[in-house]
Structure 1
Amino acid sequence: MHEDEDDAALFRAAVGKVDPLRTDAAPPPERPRPRPAVRREDDGGDARGMAGLLAGSPDAVLLRGDASAFRRERVNARDWQRLRRGQFAAQDELDLHGASALEAEMLVARFLAESLDAGFGCVRIVHGKGGAGGVPVLKNLVDRLLRQRGEVLAFHSAPPAQGGTGALLVLLSRR
């Protein structure tokens, strides 16, 4: 008898009688990934509260490191790839650091109107990464606002050298 056979026999003696696993058992169902809770504060329904509800919509909350992305169907794949890679030069920039949600909403609307009047094709909006309770308020607000604007063809989080997930490159339609 070899030493390997002795080891196997000793192991079987130590373990004792075992029952084989059932192979017909179904695997447990996958549990959904947890979603962060979004805190909503009712402040009486003023405009600041409406902007807060828009930013805090539970169906699509962006977190600090999440990339923002939106593309209308008429934007071709080549331009979309160039936007994602940051290969369009931003012709103007809006920095929203320190702005409240209501101020940001007005600043974005005015900035887009001025950019269209100037004939700009690509602009950058810096919204930052901070927010209440880990949820970036301005980032979510700007994402929702831009999706609703007809002049916005596409937007994507900027590459790291241009602000990363704290900024957006926005493609605008030409008049």
Structure 2
Amino acid sequence: MVNLIHNEKGLLLFMATLFFLSGLGFYQPHPVSAENPETLMPNSNYPLVSDYANILSPDTVNQIRQANEKMASYDDQVQIAVLTVNSTDGQSIADFTNDLTLRSDWHPGSKKYDNGVLIVFAKNGGKNNVRIATGTGMEQYLPDATLHKLLLENQSKLKSSSTSQNDQGILDLFLDVRGGLCG
């Protein structure tokens, strides 16, 4: 009986300490912040790469930039944007991406041709959800079946718990999408 009382007091003290520390901001049980698709803005320095989840290496960012600069020299000015976020806050990746694309801020490519592609990667507590959204001008080049195939081909890296594997998976997916357009 004494052990039980001692354990209950210890548990109560532990819980009180956590409650106190969380009130001071020292302990945060959910440190991952969710991005709001209604207010999330593209990176002001380079809008085609917005790495809010801090996954992409400088080399990956540079490769994406260079590929987009090369595509921008073509008449149709295709663009492929990449966005990483920590969390969609319980929203499905499809709904999150749809909410983003309702806003003009997240429409890469030429407005005239509606030929942009948006790759969205959300950590979502280790679930690593990915979606590729295309403008209507891209659907003939990147139909849903092709996008599904590209996601499956890169799934092991995209779903990995390793940030460096995620980085490589996002780059590979970007290059595969680009290959589907320029190939």
TM category, shorter: under 0.3
- The TM-score with structure 2 as length reference comes to 0.26
The structure with more radius of gyration: 1
If asked which structure has higher relative contact order (CA below 8 Å, sep 6+), I would say: 1
